[in-house]
Amino acid sequence: MDDIAKNDVAEAATKENLPAERSVLVVEDDRSFLQRLAKALAQRGFVVATAESVAEGLRQVEQAAPAFAVVDMRLDDGNGLDVISALKRRRPDARGIIMTGYGNIATAVNAVKLGAVDYLAKPVDADDVVAALLAHNNKKIEPPENPMSADRVRWEHIQRIYELCGRNVSETARRLNMHRRTLQRILAKRAPR
């Protein structure tokens, strides 16, 4: 990030009562998504720390509470809201967002009560995450200009479950409550736009 862009970010942070520091903790158990998001945030001027579990996230918060956090709701060892809650206790000015593929209104309300400033449904991209982290007065982000189509979201979800099942077609079909041949046809096609 060049000096002009850094100055613009710092100036915007001052105007909007955002932390000027750009440290962010990303807690996500999907390693490939975690790496992609961390890299994208680093390219946008953030100093990124990562964790793949609630326990690891809590350790990182205790060591050095970041200014921002991006936390998956459901992790292998618990609920990502525990990380947001611990962060808000250690650093009340910190801004955290929750990401989830299993969204519902009650969970979103609970996330906000525990200190999250926004709640994003997966799949998300780095621009959505940055916009949510830097939104002024918790103003909701604008809808994306070119959002993923419903077919693309469905395809991404199927691919994720397929990977989590070790690329086992029968197991993936069973978990998605889908006929195996239907799943094979979907997997053989290119990703929709």
Q: Which domains does the chain have, with CATH numbers?
A: 3-138 (3.40.50.2300), 150-188 (1.10.10)
Nearest-Å Rg of the Cα atoms of the chain is 18
Query: Per residue of the chain (193 residues), what is the pLDDT tens digit?
Result: 444 444 444 444 444 455 678 899 999 988 888 899 999 999 988 999 999 999 999 999 999 899 999 998 888 888 888 898 899 899 988 888 888 776 556 666 677 777 778 788 777 888 888 888 887 655 554 555 666 677 777 877 888 888 888 889 999 999 999 999 999 998 888 877 6
User: What is the model's pLDDT at position 154?
Assistant: 82
For residue 190, give the DSSP letter. Answer: P
Given 3-state DSSP classes, what are the helix, strand and coil percentages for the chain, each rounded to the nearest 5? 50, 15, 35
- Do residues 26 and 48 make contact, with C-beta atoms less than 8 angstroms apart? yes
Interior/surface letters 128-145, b for 16+ CB within 10 angstroms, e for the rest = bbbbbbbbeeeeebeeee
User: What is the model's pLDDT at position 105?
Assistant: 61
User: What is the model's pLDDT at position 68?
Assistant: 92
For residue 70, give the DSSP letter. Answer: E
Query: Who's near 144: CB < 8 A, 6+ residues apart?
Result: 125, 127, 128
* Report field, pTM of the whole predicted structure over 0.85: no
